[in-house]
Amino acid sequence: MKMFKCSVSLLPGRSPAGRFIILAFLLLANLLPAQDETVILPFSEANHYRLAFQLEEITPPLLMPGEQITFEKKSPARAFFSSLILPGTGEAYVGEDFQSKLFLGLELVGWGLVIANVINVNMRESDYQNYALMHATVSGNAKDDQYWIDIGKYDSIYEYNEQRRRERDLGAIYPETRLNYWQWDANANRLNYDGYRIETREVENSRLYFFAAIALNHLLSAINALRLANAHNRNLEENPLQMNFNYNPYQQQFTFSFHKTF
């Protein structure tokens, strides 16, 4: 790929007329022939402007971590699928560091909420199971989920089994052994237990919203990365002339540079 490079050094003492001439040179640079040339524009004995033109073959350098090639086209497909897998990576590929950090930050927040939800639900389950151990004489907590639901609906195992017999649901009857036994010491404690268990399930179900938000973040980041890649490529096609401005405070020197893609 060939690049046309132009740099202008402005030393102290510049005048409005000088700035006007330099601007004219920049606007007409596109008309210059393919050659290496340096033009000195004196304005006084104390200072001058220097305008340097150079046409050279540029080989893309081996990139270091975090570096970007400014003038290369980006693959929209790569940007899209990178962010679809991990939000922010597509934006980083295109060179949008702020948006990359934004989407990656949202991803971390989403998974942080999921982990916090899992920990919270586990603690709540331990709480209501221990509550049943104290007030319903449940032996141990190595039970399935249905058992913890059933003990919250009936005051004792005998009341529960009697209801199953009336409904001819014999397969749901618990053997009346010490392992399955429960007997609440007060109806109010059973109601407190069941209310807390139901609330815990609602907290667990809210996890679905976090997963939905994570999935949405993946999709939005992928679409955004695709948009950025297309905009980047379109900008290269429509604006092949790239300009940069730098100032060296130690030498009190301003430097303009631009690159022209042929």
What pLDDT, in 10s, does the model give residues 111-130? 999 999 999 999 999 999 99
- How far apart CA 1 and CA 13 sit, in angstroms, is 38
Backbone phi, then psi, for 142, in 5-degree steps?
Answer: -85, 65
Backbone phi, then psi, for 41, in 5-degree steps?
Answer: -115, 95
pLDDT score at 167: 92
Which amino acid is it at 36? D
What pLDDT, in 10s, does the model give residues 216-258? 999 999 999 999 999 999 988 876 555 555 656 666 565 655 5
Q: How much is the CA Rg of the chain, to the nearest whole Å?
A: 36
- Evaluated on CA atoms 34, 257, 1, 73, the torsion sign reads negative
0.85 surpassed by pTM: no
